[in-house]
Amino acid sequence: MPFEPLHLILIALAAVAAGAINALAGGGTLITFPALTAIGVPAVAANVTNTVALSPGYLGATLAQKADILDQRRRLWLLVPAALGGLTGGLLLLNTSEKLFRDLVPFLILLASLLLAIQEPLRHRLVARNERAGRTGQNERWAAVPVFLAAIYGGYFGAGLSVIILAVLGLMLDDSLTRLNALKQAVAFVTNITAATLFLFSGQVVWSAAAVMAVGALIGGVLGGRLAGHIQPSTLRRVVVIIGIAIAVVYFIRG
């Protein structure tokens, strides 16, 4: 679909902001998805395009923690339910009518905002649990089910996926937060890239927007990395949560 130059500039700036936000605190989808719908992209196509455009960011985050991921080779089987869940969520999205998805959008954005809001308390709780120790890895095999369910959500919408996965891994696996966070990146990457690969052949990707957003997200990620020492992630996260809730309210009002 053709866009005015102003539209391309808008989604490029949104992608730069999303890339920086993802690098600093997470929640960039809460910026880019509404930007796409604001310029007239249908909701399902906007979600598909957003997933494809921002998927390189997951790869960068995964490579950044490669050492901690490879040190957990025996747990990488969890990438299988992650891939299956991402594929399932993607298929569900492609088979959801435009009207139904638009009706679900405010609820999905509100859910993502709330997930982002509990990220910091969740991390504190996981740290406290690890300090208490006393757990074995005997429940690790059961992690496949909640990882699969989380990945379905990730393939369907994606915003807040990292928070869900970290919560699942923290409940099911006994390990340090650093290692759990690294494994979370790998699971989120596989979930996202599986859904994005499916979407490539769906005919729903708005390629002009995806190209502009991919470049913008890359630039934003670099900027976010450089700003990491100057901006408090918790402060930025609160701002994104407020923006997300406000956007959800707008979608509710618009019906």
Which tokens sit at 82?
């992650």
What's the rounded Cα separation, in Å, for the pair 122 and 220? 26
pLDDT surpasses 60 at 138: no
Q: How confident is the model at residue 229 (pLDDT cuts 50, 70, 90)?
A: low
Q: List pLDDT tens digits, range 82-97.
A: 999 999 999 999 999 9
Percent above pLDDT 70 for the chain: 93
**Confidence check: pLDDT of 44 > 70:** yes
Average pLDDT, the chain: 85
Q: Do the beta carbons of residue 10 and residue 35 sit within 8 Å?
A: yes
> What pLDDT, on a 0 to 100 scale, did the predictor assign at position 247?
87
Rounded to a whole number of angstroms, the CA Rg of the chain reads 18
Mean pLDDT, residues 159-185: 82
Rounded average pLDDT over 217-224? 82
pLDDT number for residue 200: 94
Q: Which pLDDT score, from 0 to 100, does residue 222 have? A: 78
Q: Is the pLDDT of residue 217 over 70?
A: yes
Domain count, the chain: 1
Q: Which amino acid is located at 198 in the chain?
A: L
| pLDDT, mean of residues 148-176 | 86
Q: Tell whether the model's pLDDT for residue 233 goes beyond 80.
A: no
244 token code pair: 């997300």
Beta-sheet strands, E only, within 111-197 = none
Q: Once rounded to an integer, what is the mean pLDDT over residues 179-195? A: 89
Full domain range(s) for residue 58: 5-254
